[in-house]
Chains A and B, each alone.
Chain A
Amino acid sequence: MIGIIDYKAGNGPSVLNALNKVNAEAMLVSDPEMMLKMDALILPGVGSAQATMTSLEDLNCIEALGEFVFVLKRPFLGICVGLQVLFENSEEGNAKCLGFLKGNVRKFPADKVRVPQMGWNKARFLVDNPILIGLNEEEYFYFVNSYYVVPQDDSIILSTTDYAGEFCSMICLNNIFAAQFHIEKSGEAGLTMLRNFVGMAGKSFGKEQR
């Protein structure tokens, strides 16, 4: 079972629709105990990093997310703000984020480009990864973001995209996957990626450390 973390400002229902389309068994979850029972978790996101962090705190699930990712080591997928909050902090309202990954979140230069970036842009994949099966080296995805992540460790960058210069549009570290673009709203390329993620559910990324 794939769990989609459901919080007030999130677009969990859209992600659920997309998972239903690829015939995944999926449900919305908001209870931390339930999250820990899932074979894989998706953290969708729209809106601000601060609002998302507040929602996660309200659900009392931050500890459970850490356990899911680092102790159970099950597949985890962050989308849009769900990518940004994995890092240490965001320029957006100086929000303190989850800190699962080292690095920060910065704003696009509004004097150079329209902010937010909104529309289809190209992700260039830098390395092979099981989540990319069936995708071309470059694919268009739908982006809506004013902020982008700057990982401290370049080796976790899976793809880059050009908007006022190259920025990191997808990362992977072991069982942690996350994309700046809206996988659930990126047509067939997005559905292919989701299908690949669903295929990882239940697979081991190392021994569970209980």
Chain B
Amino acid sequence: MITKRLIACFDVVDGRVTKAKNFQDNIDVEDAVTIATRLYEQQIDEIIFYDIKASAEKRRIDLNTVKRVGEEVFVPFTVGGGIRNIVDMYDVLKAGAEKISIDSMAVRNPNIITDGSLAFGSQCIVLSMQVKNVGKSEKIPSGYEVAIDGARVFTGMDAIEWAIRGEALGAGEICVNSIDGDGTMAGYDLDITGRIAKAVNIPVIASGGAGKVSHLFDLFLQTEASAAIISSMLYSPRIDKNYLVSEIKEELLLNGIPMHPIRN
């Protein structure tokens, strides 16, 4: 049986991991390669790395850090931020990443999803979406609107409709980032994550809000999400307790959630 995945996510600026709350107020945490290597050694299932300033600064992604992480981390590694076309995707994959996360750029140019999946396979393309609860309306029937550019610009697009369209365009995975939940450590948005997971047949990753193991337990019991992004729990200086990957996995396994157990 396929297991649920725990994904460590890093927002990287100039090779350093930072931590935000509600997509703002980033504080410096640690060197990206050091923290990625440490979590690999703790047997995290997967790693995601966002170059959060590449897009805003209109520059290419920090390939040097991607390359250094790829040399030390032997679990799947997704990279996002500042990817504009398949040439950029190719460079990131050649630097040692497996998957590419596209977010704002996919909203601006949805064809990039199709171009990427045709060139490298849909398994390579993660459609990441920032969603916010805005209440149901005619335009936003799900009640969740898609935002871009670090949750600063609202698109008028409905989250569930965008997820379904993303799958049709060739995305291999969908990452649902809750703007309201980001960095709050108050739990995932189970409502929208669950509804998107039901609406598509590709794996869905929940992101935003994990602060303790019970949040993961709730996510995997109450929704069909395949994976969960955790970051604050692992390394945020804003939280009282940072967990070891083994502590999280053992507790989930004890509660019947299928996980890749720690290998001694």
The interface of chain A, by Cβ under 8 A from chain B, is: 8-9, 11, 13-14, 17-18, 20-21, 46-48, 51, 110, 114-122, 139-140, 142-146, 162-163, 182, 184-191
Contact residue among B90, B94, B121, B227 (Cβ-Cβ distance under 8 Å from A51): B121
What separation, in Å, do the CA atoms of A51 and B172 have in the docked complex? 17
In the complex, the answer to whether A13 meets B70 with C-beta atoms within 8 Å is yes
In the complex, the answer to whether B120 meets A9 with C-beta atoms within 8 Å is yes
Q: Which residues of B contact A186 (CB under 8 A)?
A: 74-75
Contact residue among B3, B96, B172 (Cβ-Cβ distance under 8 Å from A120): B3
The interface of chain B, by Cβ under 8 A from chain A, is: 1-5, 40, 43, 45, 70-71, 74-77, 90, 93-96, 98, 119-124, 172-173, 201-203, 226-227, 260-261, 263
Q: Which residues of B contact A17 (CB under 8 A)?
A: 70-71, 74, 96
Using A121-B2, A186-B75 as known contacts, list a sample of 8 further A-B pairs with CB atoms less than 8 Å apart, ordered by residue number in A. Answer: A11-B93, A17-B71, A114-B203, A115-B201, A119-B226, A120-B5, A182-B76, A187-B263
In the complex, the answer to whether B124 meets A46 with C-beta atoms within 8 Å is yes
In the complex, the answer to whether A9 meets B70 with C-beta atoms within 8 Å is no
Contact residue among B75, B121, B173, B260 (Cβ-Cβ distance under 8 Å from A9): B121
Listed residue (A162, A163, A182, A185) with the most chain B CB atoms within 10 angstroms of its CB: A185
What separation, in Å, do the CA atoms of A119 and B227 have in the docked complex? 9
Contact residue among B75, B93, B226 (Cβ-Cβ distance under 8 Å from A118): B226
In the complex, the answer to whether A118 meets B172 with C-beta atoms within 8 Å is yes
Contact residue among B1, B4, B71, B121 (Cβ-Cβ distance under 8 Å from A47): B121
Q: Which residues of B contact A46 (CB under 8 A)?
A: 98, 120-121, 123-124
5 residue pairs from A and B, CB less than 8 Å apart: A115-B202, A119-B227, A139-B263, A142-B76, A185-B74
Q: Which residues of B contact A142 (CB under 8 A)?
A: 45, 75-76
Please, which residue of chain B has its CB at the minimum distance from the CB of A121?
A: B2
What separation, in Å, do the CA atoms of A143 and B260 have in the docked complex? 12
Q: Which residues of A contact B260 (CB under 8 A)?
A: 120, 140
Q: Which residues of B contact A9 (CB under 8 A)?
A: 119-121
